[in-house]
Amino acid sequence: MKYAFNTASAPQLNLTELLAVARKYGYGGLEIRSGAGHSHGIEVTVSGEMRAAFKHEAAESGIVLTALGISSRFTTAVDAEQQIAAAAEAITLASDVGIPFVRLFCGRIVEEDSREVAMSRVVTALDRLAPLAEVGGVVLLLETHDDWSAPQTLAELLRRTAQSNLGVLWDVLHTQHEGGASPAEVVQLIGPWIKHVHVHDGVAGSKRENGHPHYRAIGSGDIVHAEVIHSLQGIGFAGYLSGEWFQWEPYDIHLPRELDALKQAERLAKEWGENAI
């Protein structure tokens, strides 16, 4: 398995510092969260010159910029054009910096709309954005998130569009806690689309005041990461497992510890599969 972490672990660090941290702790990739006030600098407002500099710096470091994540919402008609325009800017940014994936949220479904209406709006947005992404050499990833955490729901959406450069970012907490699906069920339903994975541990229940889950150290929450890895190995997954931790512990505490736990889970994945038979 290949391992990365999200810039949410150390939002105060610039790109140079983040790349150094990745090398120090043994991560091969860095996932960029854009539009959230992080200090890495990879934002739609930066110049072409800076974009080229970021691309060169990452390439020289040997650390892969795995994905660019933004907030988006395509389920409502209220600001549809603004949401599509913002996603288009992020696609151009990713293309310029050499980042292969842009992570999108489909968005919460508002109370007055049916899922069918919301799904139609999401498909319309994707049909406009996907050709732009394809020209830029970027694949759009829909995260298992919000009202789209159940893998069968996301699979239905993906089957509604004929676009070929769409994939899934599997968040292992969301599919279990909100989607009610086991790792085996996830890969059975959306396995061919999974290109990137968010890993972390936590406990079900209410979220923290910042809207993020109640994280726990890997191995002490609800997620069996050996099962997750075993399921991914079964479909030949070749992407990154990216640790995503917002406003949690200091990065120098959790980044080395969680990577060790993930590597231990990888070692246990074969044993877990044998015990599950």
How is the chain split into domains, by residue range? 2-276
Cβ contacts of 215-223, under 8 Å, gap ≥ 24: 215/245, 215/248, 217/254, 217/257, 217/258, 217/261, 218/258, 218/261, 218/262, 218/265, 219/261, 219/264, 219/265, 222/173, 222/176, 222/177, 223/172, 223/173, 223/176, 223/199
Measure the CA–CA gap between 239 and 100, rounded to whole angstroms.
Answer: 11
- Of the CATH numbers 1.10.1740.10, 3.40.50.300, 3.20.20.150, 3.30.1490.20, which one belongs to the domain with range 2-276? 3.20.20.150
Angle at CA 96, nearest 5°, toward 159 and 165?
10
pTM: 0.96
pLDDT in tens, the chain (277 residues): 999 999 999 999 999 999 999 999 999 999 999 999 999 999 999 999 999 999 999 999 999 999 999 999 999 998 999 999 999 999 999 999 999 999 999 999 998 899 999 999 999 999 999 999 999 999 999 999 999 999 999 999 999 998 999 999 999 999 999 999 999 999 999 999 999 999 999 999 877 777 788 899 999 999 999 999 999 999 999 999 999 999 999 999 999 999 999 999 999 998 865 655 4
Question: 1: closest CA among 215, 255, 269, 186?
Answer: 269
pLDDT in tens, 85-139: 999 999 999 999 999 999 999 999 998 899 999 999 999 999 999 999 999 999 9
